[in-house]
């Protein structure tokens, strides 16, 4: 049985008209409109069953409503892939293709794909969420861009692994994975060395990415009034590890009440971190979580108060995504408790 | 310095009456070999197996790999470790090629141990899946660490080294099929032509981050945690001066076999004197505390500068906080005007979306990437398991787990497994064997 | 983690040993600790010395939270 595809296009490629119809809301049509015909002809063992059309301005100004309507259209349909565009360098169209592809992928878990030009603002917005083929800047590149989408879409339909970004022609999604290649590391090393010596061009296998920076938070105005919370990635937990935090590649965190404690006692708390020798921290957990000196400084009035809970997880092998998720789970609790500042101790 | 290694290519290994090598067949008297192993009274149980590429065999937990060799002067292979100190790097060795002694725990593994598949999709993940191996499967009475996640594996590792020396004896009197000669002239005695070439050093950072002794790599038997970078000859490394340790997730490790055969060092020696003048190896280490890292980096840069190096290889046996030593050394060398090509694996997470090295610096210009330690790998069951597969999930292996909400246990009831690359025995092969690279998806 | 909390406008000081890692992950206020396994107290020293060291570094951290900084800053200890 052949598989089924649904295509998303804007008002222009949906043959409703130009800029004057950019405000029309979403509609779904059985059969093939605009690029859907070429997709239908080129997709392998797959029929395009429907074309969805939405005006770029409508999607741009009412994205939630437009997405809800389209997901509603799709709710009772069977389809194996969802394709949007190509959007070339049309900014609103590109953002629309990205928006709807991401929503469809999140809701239905089917493969989605689109195409746009590198200058299209939709590319940077969505390249980490969906596969966006590198496309031309103007609609005259339709044949080429559509063929590129089809090539990868056919792999998705066949259940094959989609290869690396540079080889398949899509924008990198921010993921790096290992792949097996013909040449061994010695050969590659020697070639890179010779190129450096000769002053010739070479391509490093690791290009250092631009680092994500956050604005520096304003300092606490009055330390003597501040409520300070203590956090750690050093895996300090009650000895029975009640939250079953993993000792490496952690996905869990814990919140532990220290009311009335002057220090963290050995035998009551320990570290479950697998990345270092735990002896010192098990003998005296305060070497990672300095509750003892914080209590002393709290009494001396150096700062306002120590927050009633400390938060703990394990930092080793933990992905940035997991770390950021855990932080986002902890954050509202800190905010609800009016925490003014944090100390994070890492091992 | 002149080191000659005579090669004897092993096509087949068999058990028989007498330890011998003939027409590509290595024959081992099993009882005799086991009796030698059991001379260490810590060994409570030992058995020998032979595995070759294509066998439906999985080995786990693997602790060490050693190439069987013999020195024609009768001295020990691993000075300061299994034999008295001697100078490595000179003389004649005979080596059994395409062949290694593997040491496998009968029951117990740990953070640092690894897995090898001899066939199927897992075979390509280790170098040893492609060799003829003599497998020592043994247990010990080292009760103090039986249930520890970090194990010294001292008795087992030493047993492997002694077994490799024992087996190597059989080619002492024979004529090798061919011979590799590694010869260097002292740095200041080289010809004007060679001295005019761009100068190169190799900076190696072996694993030495366990503060307790007995877990780290050894240099002439010395624990490299208590060590500062030193200039060495590449021949010393090929001739047993370095012995692998028992710390660090396994895929990032360099086994003793890797040191004995270090492919990148051999390539650098092969082409020495053509476009560059290879000054030697700055044997460094990996440290825990920041001041230790900085001190070691200072020694590396000062040595390289004083030697007049223009280019450098930098490579680390590890990932995670060792990246601070690795990236720190690269950045400091580049700052000193020494251009670096680095070799390391990456840790981009199971989803591939994490930062590749825990510290990054824009001074990293040229790097060979050999794998992602946290790549998820699923492997089908194997007919035979040597050791105890449960060790992968049970004993805190860096690439295995007991249970996971989404992925389930590492070791499934049918014998199939799901694990991180971390747990594959010396799988990322930063010494130069890796056929893996990292690509953006 | 540090970044997400700072992104929400809560000042956070990162106490860690491997400062280059902290700089790479994007912490803006950094106070060095003495090691990875025991950031705030060397078990080879006396209890009193450990307490003094810990008190000092945590105090520097607290003061860092009340200090306005223009760029990533490693506070001297």
Res A202: pLDDT: 97
Res B152: pLDDT: 96
Q: Which of A126, A141, A168 is the last residue of a domain?
A: A168
Q: Which of A178, A188, A282 to mutate to test the interface with B (most CBs of B within 10 A)?
A: A178
In this structure, how many other beta carbons lie within 10 angstroms of the beta carbon of residue A15? 12
Provide the chain C residues 34-73 that lie in CB contact (below 8 A) with chain B. 34-37
Check C62 against A339: CB less than 8 A apart. Answer: no
Check B359 against C20: CB less than 8 A apart. Answer: yes
Distances (CA, A) of A275 to A68, A130, A234, B255, B397: 46, 34, 9, 20, 12
Query: Pairing state of beta strands A176-180 and B436-440?
Result: antiparallel
Select from A279, A296, A326 the Cβ nearest to the Cβ of C1.
A326
Does B268 score more than 80 pLDDT?
yes
A333 has a chain C CB within 8 A of its CB: no
What gap in Å lies between CA B193 and CA A345, rounded to an integer?
A: 55
> Would you say B333 and B340 are in contact if contact means Cβ atoms under 8 Å apart?
yes
Res A317: pLDDT: 72
Q: Which positions in chain A touch C71 (Cβ < 8 Å)?
A: 216
Q: Does residue A228 sit in the same domain as residue A164? A: no
- Residue A82 makes CB contacts below 8 A (sequence gap 6+) with A5, A6, A8, A74, A100, A101, A104, A105, A108, A110, A111, A112, A113
At B51 the three-state DSSP class reads: strand
Q: Does residue A15 sit in the same domain as residue A137? A: yes
Q: Is B434 within the bounds of a domain?
A: no
Q: Tell me the pLDDT band of B258, cut-offs 50, 70 and 90.
A: very high
* A-B C-beta contacts closer than 8 Å: 176
Distance from CA of A218 to the nearest CA of C (A): 6
Q: Is B440 within the bounds of a domain?
A: no
Give the domain extent around B158. 2-423
Q: What is the DSSP string of B6-20?
A: EEEE-SEEEE-SS-E
Q: Which of A152, A168, A184 is the last residue of a domain?
A: A168
- Residue A68 makes CB contacts below 8 A (sequence gap 6+) with none
Cis ω for the linkage preceding B61 (within 30 of 0): yes
Q: Which positions in chain C touch B289 (Cβ < 8 Å)?
A: 17, 34-36
**Burial readout A267-290 (b: 16 or more C-beta within 10 A, e: otherwise):** eebbbbbbbbbbebbbebbbbbbb
Q: Is A301 within the bounds of a domain?
A: yes
Q: Does residue A120 sit in the same domain as residue A13? A: yes
B210 has a chain C CB within 8 A of its CB: no
Residue A234 DSSP one-character state: B
Distance from CA of B14 to the nearest CA of A (A): 31
**Run of H or E including A322:** helix A320-336
- Token readout for B51 is 């595995």
Taking only Cα atoms into account, the Rg of chain B, rounded to an integer number of angstroms, comes to: 21
A18 burial level (CB within 10 Å; 0-12, 13-18, 19+): exposed
Q: Does residue A21 sit in the same domain as residue A151? A: yes
Q: Tell me the pLDDT band of B421, cut-offs 50, 70 and 90.
A: very high
Check B289 against C36: CB less than 8 A apart. Answer: yes
Q: Does residue A61 sit in the same domain as residue A144? A: yes
Q: Is B124 within the bounds of a domain?
A: yes
Q: Is A9 within the bounds of a domain?
A: yes
What are the structural domain ranges in chain C? 2-74
Q: Is A336 within the bounds of a domain?
A: yes
Distance from CA of B422 to the nearest CA of C (A): 21
Check C18 against B324: CB less than 8 A apart. Answer: yes
Task: List the Cα angle A14/A156/B408 in 5-degree steps.
Answer: 130
Check B358 against C21: CB less than 8 A apart. Answer: yes
Among A111, A147, A157, A154, residue whose Cα is nearest residue A130:
A111
At B356 the three-state DSSP class reads: coil
Q: Is A178 within the bounds of a domain?
A: no
Q: Does residue A158 sit in the same domain as residue A228? A: no
Mean of per-residue pLDDT scores for chain B: 97
Q: Is B313 within the bounds of a domain?
A: yes
Q: Is A68 within the bounds of a domain?
A: yes
Q: Is B207 within the bounds of a domain?
A: yes
Q: Which of B286, B359, B362 to mutate to test the interface with C (most CBs of C within 10 A)?
A: B359
Check B441 against A166: CB less than 8 A apart. Answer: no
Q: Does residue A58 sit in the same domain as residue A157? A: yes
* CATH number, domain containing residue A102: 3.40.50.2300
Query: Pairing state of beta strands A341-345 and A227-232?
Result: parallel
- Closest chain A CA to residue B355: A320
- Touching chains, C (3+ CB pairs < 8 A): A, B
Distance from CA of B321 to the nearest CA of C (A): 7
Q: Give the predicted TM-score (pTM) of the model.
A: 0.91
Query: Pairing state of beta strands B69-71 and B417-420?
Result: unpaired
At A30 the three-state DSSP class reads: strand
Res C75: pLDDT: 97
For residue B137, what are the β-bridge partners?
B47, B104
> Would you say B64 and B53 are in contact if contact means Cβ atoms under 8 Å apart?
no
Number of domains in chain A: 2
- Closest chain B CA to residue C21: B359
> Would you say A230 and A341 are in contact if contact means Cβ atoms under 8 Å apart?
no
Cis ω for the linkage preceding B332 (within 30 of 0): no
What gap in Å lies between CA A182 and CA A297, rounded to an integer?
A: 61
Q: Is A210 within the bounds of a domain?
A: no
**Run of H or E including B315:** strand B311-316
Task: Please identify every stretch of chain A with a pLDDT value under 70, giving residue numbers as ranges.
Answer: none
User: A41-67: per-residue pLDDT in tens?
Assistant: 999 999 999 999 999 999 999 999 999
Q: Which residue has the tokens 């693997």?
A: B62
Among B212, B239, B261, B234, residue whose Cα is nearest residue B65:
B261
- Closest chain B CA to residue C34: B289
- Touching chains, B (3+ CB pairs < 8 A): A, C
Categorise residue B58: left if φ over 0, alpha if ψ from -120 to 50, beta otherwise.
beta
Q: Which residue has the tokens 């040595």?
A: B303
Query: Pairing state of beta strands A46-54 and A27-30?
Result: antiparallel
Distance from CA of C49 to the nearest CA of A (A): 12
H helix count then E strand count, chain A: 11, 13
What gap in Å lies between CA B218 and CA C25, rounded to an integer?
A: 33
Res C70: pLDDT: 93
Q: Which positions in chain A touch C40 (Cβ < 8 Å)?
A: 286-288, 290, 345
At A140 the three-state DSSP class reads: helix
Q: Is A227 within the bounds of a domain?
A: yes
What gap in Å lies between CA B264 and CA A185, rounded to an integer?
A: 8
Res A321: pLDDT: 83
What gap in Å lies between CA B382 and CA B86, rounded to an integer?
A: 43
Q: Is A69 within the bounds of a domain?
A: yes
Select from A180, A190, A319 the Cβ nearest to the Cβ of B350.
A319
Check B438 against A176: CB less than 8 A apart. Answer: yes
Q: Is B324 within the bounds of a domain?
A: yes
Q: What are phi and psi of B379, to 5 degrees?
A: -130, 140
User: Roughly what angle, to the nearest 10 degrees, separates helices B322-335 and B290-307?
Assistant: 30
- Token readout for A155 is 């792999």
**How many Cα neighbours within 13 Å face the side chain of B41?**
0
> Would you say B237 and B220 are in contact if contact means Cβ atoms under 8 Å apart?
no
Residue B311 DSSP one-character state: E
> Would you say A145 and A133 are in contact if contact means Cβ atoms under 8 Å apart?
yes
C19 has a chain B CB within 8 A of its CB: yes
At A303 the three-state DSSP class reads: coil
Among B212, B205, B219, residue whose Cα is nearest residue B253:
B205
Q: Does residue A329 sit in the same domain as residue A246? A: yes
Q: Which positions in chain B touch C57 (Cβ < 8 Å)?
A: none
Average pLDDT of span B300-320: 97
- Closest chain C CA to residue A304: C62
User: B193-232: per-residue pLDDT in tens?
Assistant: 999 999 999 999 999 999 899 999 999 999 999 999 999 9
Average pLDDT of span B238-246: 98
User: B351-398: per-residue pLDDT in tens?
Assistant: 999 999 999 999 999 999 999 999 999 999 999 999 999 999 999 999
Check A185 against B313: CB less than 8 A apart. Answer: no
Number of domains in chain B: 1
Chain centroid to Cα A260, Å, comes to: 41
- Touching chains, A (3+ CB pairs < 8 A): B, C
Res A275: pLDDT: 76
Q: Does residue A41 sit in the same domain as residue A120? A: yes
Give the domain extent around A114. 3-168
Residue A18 DSSP one-character state: S
> Would you say A345 and A232 are in contact if contact means Cβ atoms under 8 Å apart?
yes
Q: Which residue has the tokens 């990322």?
A: B428
């Amino acid at each position: 049985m052949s598989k089924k595809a649904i295509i998303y296009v804007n008002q222009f490629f949906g043959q409703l008209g130009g800029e004057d119809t950019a405000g029309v809301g979403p509609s779904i049509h059985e059969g093939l409109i605009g690029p859907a015909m070429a997709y239908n002809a080129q997709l392998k063992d797959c029929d395009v069953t429907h074309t969805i059309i939405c005006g770029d301005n409508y999607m741009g100004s009412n994205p939630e409503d437009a997405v809800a309507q389209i997901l509603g259209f799709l709710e009772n349909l069977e389809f194996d892939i969802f394709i949007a565009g190509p959007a070339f360098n049309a900014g609103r169209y590109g953002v629309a293709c990205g928006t709807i592809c991401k929503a469809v992928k999140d809701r239905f878990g089917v493969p989605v794909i689109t195409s746009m030009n590198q200058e299209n603002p939709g590319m940077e917005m969505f390249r980490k969420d969906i596969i966006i083929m590198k496309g031309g800047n103007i609609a005259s590149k339709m044949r080429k861009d559509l063929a590129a989408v089809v090539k990868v879409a056919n792999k998705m339909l066949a259940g094959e692994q989609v290869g690396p970004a540079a080889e398949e022609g899509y924008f990198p999604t921010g993921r790096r994975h290992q792949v097996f290649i013909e040449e061994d590391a010695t050969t590659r090393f020697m070639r890179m060395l010779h190129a450096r010596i000769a002053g010739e061009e070479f391509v490093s296998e690791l290009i250092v990415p631009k680092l994500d920076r956050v604005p520096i938070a304003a300092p606490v105005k009055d330390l003597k009034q501040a409520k300070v919370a203590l956090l750690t990635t050093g895996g300090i937990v009650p000895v029975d590890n009640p939250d079953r935090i993993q000792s490496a590649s952690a996905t869990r965190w814990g919140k532990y009440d220290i009311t009335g404690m002057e220090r963290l006692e050995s035998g009551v708390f320990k570290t479950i971190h697998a990345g270092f020798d735990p002896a010192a921290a098990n003998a005296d957990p305060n070497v990672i979580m300095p509750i003892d000196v914080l209590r002393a400084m709290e009494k001396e009035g150096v700062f306002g108060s120590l927050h009633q809970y400390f938060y703990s997880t394990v930092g080793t092998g933990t992905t940035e995504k997991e770390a950021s998720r855990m932080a986002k789970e902890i954050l509202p609790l800190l905010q609800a408790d009016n925490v003014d500042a944090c100390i994070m101790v890492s091992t | 310095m002149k080191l000659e290694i005579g090669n004897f290519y092993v096509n087949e290994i068999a058990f028989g009456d007498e330890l011998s090598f003939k027409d590509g067949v290595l024959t081992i008297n099993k009882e005799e070999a086991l009796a030698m192993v059991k001379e260490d009274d810590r060994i409570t149980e030992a058995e020998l197996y032979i595995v070759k590429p294509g066998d439906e065999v999985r080995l786990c937990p693997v602790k060490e790999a050693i190439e069987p060799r013999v020195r024609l002067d009768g001295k020990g292979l691993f000075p300061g470790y299994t034999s008295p100190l001697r100078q490595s790097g000179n003389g004649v060795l005979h080596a059994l090629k395409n062949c290694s002694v593997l040491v496998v725990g009968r029951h117990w593994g740990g953070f640092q141990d690894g897995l090898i598949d001899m066939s199927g999709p897992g075979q390509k993940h280790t170098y040893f899946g492609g060799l003829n191996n003599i497998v020592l499967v043994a247990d010990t009475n080292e009760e103090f660490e039986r249930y520890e996640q970090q194990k010294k594996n001292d008795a087992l590792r030493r047993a492997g080294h002694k077994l490799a020396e024992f087996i190597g004896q059989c080619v002492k009197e024979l004529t090798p099929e061919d011979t590799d000669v590694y010869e260097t002239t002292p740095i200041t005695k080289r010809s004007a032509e060679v001295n005019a070439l761009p100068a190169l050093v190799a900076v190696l950072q072996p694993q030495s981050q366990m503060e307790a002794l007995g877990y780290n790599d050894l240099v002439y038997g010395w624990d490299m945690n208590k060590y500062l970078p030193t200039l060495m000859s590449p021949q010393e490394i090929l001739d047993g001066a370095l012995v692998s340790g028992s710390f660090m997730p396994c895929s990032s490790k360099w086994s003793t076999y890797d040191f004995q055969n270090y492919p990148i060092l051999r390539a650098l020696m092969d082409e020495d004197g053509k476009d560059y003048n290879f000054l030697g190896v700055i044997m460094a280490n990996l440290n825990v505390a920041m001041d230790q890292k900085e001190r070691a980096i200072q020694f590396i840069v000062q040595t390289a500068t004083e030697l007049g190096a223009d280019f450098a290889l930098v490579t680390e046996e590890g990932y995670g906080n060792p990246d601070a030593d690795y990236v720190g050394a690269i950045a400091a060398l580049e700052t000193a005007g020494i251009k670096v090509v680095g070799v390391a694996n990456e840790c981009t997470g199971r989803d591939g979306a994490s930062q590749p090295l825990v510290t990054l610096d824009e001074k990293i210009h040229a790097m060979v990437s050999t794998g992602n330690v946290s790549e998820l790998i699923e492997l089908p069951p194997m007919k035979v398991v040597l050791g105890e597969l449960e060790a992968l999930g049970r004993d805190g292996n860096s690439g295995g787990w007991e249970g996971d909400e989404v992925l389930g246990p590492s070791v499934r009831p049918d014998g199939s497994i799901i694990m991180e690359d971390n747990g594959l025995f010396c799988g990322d092969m930063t010494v130069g064997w890796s056929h893996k690279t990292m690509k953006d998806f | 983690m540090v970044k997400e909390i700072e992104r929400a406008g809560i000042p956070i000081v990162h106490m860690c040993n491997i400062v280059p890692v902290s700089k790479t992950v994007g912490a803006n206020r950094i106070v060095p600790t003495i090691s990875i396994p025991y950031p705030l107290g060397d078990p080879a020293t006396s209890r009193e010395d450990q307490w003094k060291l810990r008190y000092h570094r945590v105090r520097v951290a607290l003061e860092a939270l009340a200090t306005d900084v223009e760029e990533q800053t490693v506070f001297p200890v």
